[in-house]
Amino acid sequence: AQSVTQLGSHVSVSEGALVLLRCNYSSSVPPYLFWYVQYPNQGLQLLLKYTTGATLVKGINGFEAEFKKSETSFHLTKPSAHMSDAAEYFCAVRGNAGNMLTFGGGTRLMVKP
């Protein structure tokens, strides 16, 4: 079975500061990992994904994440936060059956001016 733990349900950073959102996963098979973002009153949108190959993956809006198998982690980072980054971020792992994703509890990112 797969599971995802996101450390910190709320993260607050100042505009221009580093963004670090933490995600640890558990998977019985080689994982496919995803970060999705949810802006207020909208559905989820894919930020980036890791399937195979390079462990550092780049996504939209300047976000990137690094797959670390030894640490079972897939943390999301962005060098410089922007006000428009304020949203809820979900880490997810793909399951064995179909394309079903198991999501973490989400981290709400707040960006202070």
Partner 1 sequence: DSGVTQTPKHLITATGQRVTLRCSPRSGDLSVYWYQQSLDQGLQFLIQYYNGEERAKGNILERFSAQQFPDLHSELNLSSLELGDSALYFCASSYRGSEPGELFFGEGSRLTVL
* Interactions with partner 1, residue window 35-94 (CB under 8 A): 36, 41-46, 49, 51, 90, 94
Which one among 5, 24, 77, 102 touches partner 1, defined by CB under 8 A?
A: 102
Polymer length of the chain: 113
Which residue, 14 or 51, has its beta carbon nearer to partner 1? 51
Token output for 4: 């995802």
Give the C-alpha separation, 42 to 28, whole Å: 32
| 32 is an interface residue for partner 1 by CB under 8 A | yes
Query: How many of the other CB atoms lie within 10 Å of CB of 113?
Result: 6
Which one among 21, 104, 107, 111 touches partner 1, defined by CB under 8 A?
A: 104
Which residue, 12 or 96, has its beta carbon nearer to partner 1? 96
Query: Do 42 and 60 form a contact (C-beta atoms < 8 A)?
Result: no
| 1 is an interface residue for partner 1 by CB under 8 A | no
Token output for 97: 């059956």
